[in-house]
Structure 1
Amino acid sequence: MSLVTEEIKLKAEIYHGDELCQAKAKELLEEIALPNGLLPLKDIIEVGYNREIGFVWLKQKKSITHKFEKIGRNVSYATEVTAEVEKGKIKKLNGVKAKELLIWLTLNEIYVDDPPTGKITFKAYSGLSRTFPVTAFELEEEKSSGVKDV
């Protein structure tokens, strides 16, 4: 069941198509001072943002699992990811799980201390939390020549 109601959609900015949605997801992360690689979704079909209540949703064609190489952790993203956002924080997160040892933990909050060079903390409903460097979730920006920084 989707948490995105018609009432929420009425006052939201809604975008469709993977290329535009990828750009809008990165813009949103930048706007709320979170690392730009935090949402490595594929084949995004819709992104919506209701600024009035700070509610965001992202829909992708199928769920994916992404490994954040810099921290060696797998994170699973459902076909629909929803959250309430504010500067430096994502709360009431739905659709995201992180693998801790042998079990998947549903994440419900992400926040950054002292952005952009500080630490990022992920909290699960179980009460467990893990903190990592923000840099582990940043994408390397491409130079205008199309060559990535090394």
Structure 2
Amino acid sequence: MSLVSEEMKSKSEVYHGDQICQAKSKELLREIVLPNGLLPLKDIIEVGYNRETGFVWLKQKKAITHKFEKIGKLVSYATEVTAQVEKGKIKKLNGVKTKELLIWITLSDIYVDDPPTGKITFKTPAGLSRTFPVSAFEVEEDKSSVVVKETNNKVNETVAAAAAGGVKEV
């Protein structure tokens, strides 16, 4: 059962298709100041973000398990991942589990320290937590995608300016 209602969708930014959803999920992580490799989802079919409430959802074709090599941890992502986000924090997380010894443990919160210490903490609903270096969850971004993104932003600004009645120099 989905935690995302049609009413929630109507009040949110919603994107469809893996390519745009990958970009939007990384953009969201940058916006809330969390490492860009925290959500290594595959075949994303929908991403939604309600800026007013901070509610976010990501839907992928099938559940995946990802190993964060730098810390040797397995993390499972369900077909639907939901959370409340704010700067430096993901709260009320659903759909993400980590393997500790022989059992899968649900994660409920992820946060970085403010001011930054280079550490990220993962917390369970029972209140147990584990801290790792932020660098373990960062991935090198493809430089060409950054150039394309910057070009797209300039084009969008120009189109918006033209629509508002004035043309902006690029």
TM-score by length of 1: 0.92
Deviations 1:45-95 (A, max 9, x none): 000001010000000000000000000000000000000000000000000
Cα distance between partner residues in 1 of 2:70 and 2:25:
21
Question: Could you say if the C-alpha distance between residues 135 and 117 of structure 1 is closer, same or farther in structure 2, counting changes exceeding 3 Å?
Answer: farther
- 1:148 corresponds in structure 2 to none
Within 5 Å, give how 1:8-23 maps onto structure 2: 8-23=8-23
- 2:111 corresponds in structure 1 to 111
Cα distance between partner residues in 2 of 1:75 and 1:66:
5
Q: Which structure: larger Rg?
A: 2
- 1:5 corresponds in structure 2 to 5
Matched, 1:140 2:143: no
1:70 counterpart SS class:
coil
- 1:40 corresponds in structure 2 to 40
- 2:126 corresponds in structure 1 to 126
Normalized per residue, the structure richer in helix is: 2
Q: Is the 8 A contact 1:111 1:122 kept in 2?
A: yes
Cα distance between partner residues in 2 of 1:64 and 1:116:
30
Deviation at 1:117, TM superposition (A): 5.5
1:22 counterpart SS class:
helix
Q: Is the 8 A contact 1:17 1:46 kept in 2?
A: yes
Within 5 Å, give how 1:73-112 maps onto structure 2: 73-112=73-112
Q: Which residue identity does 1:55 align to in structure 2?
A: F
Question: Unaligned stretches of 5+ in structure 2?
Answer: 145-170
- 1:147 corresponds in structure 2 to none
- 2:65 corresponds in structure 1 to 65
Question: Could you say if the C-alpha distance between residues 24 and 130 of structure 1 is closer, same or farther in structure 2, counting changes exceeding 3 Å?
Answer: same
Runs of 4+, deviation exceeding 3 Å: 114-117
Aligned pairs, how many? 144
2:105 counterpart SS class:
strand
Question: Unaligned stretches of 5+ in structure 1?
Answer: 145-150
Deviation at 1:128, TM superposition (A): 1.4
Q: RCO greater where, 1 or 2, for CA within 8 Å and sep 6 or more?
A: 1
Cα distance between partner residues in 2 of 1:115 and 1:141:
25
Normalized per residue, the structure richer in strand is: 1
2:2 counterpart SS class:
coil
Deviations 1:20-41 (A, max 9, x none): 0000000000000000000000
Deviation at 1:118, TM superposition (A): 1.6
Deviation at 1:116, TM superposition (A): 5.7
Question: Could you say if the C-alpha distance between residues 108 and 4 of structure 1 is closer, same or farther in structure 2, counting changes exceeding 3 Å?
Answer: same
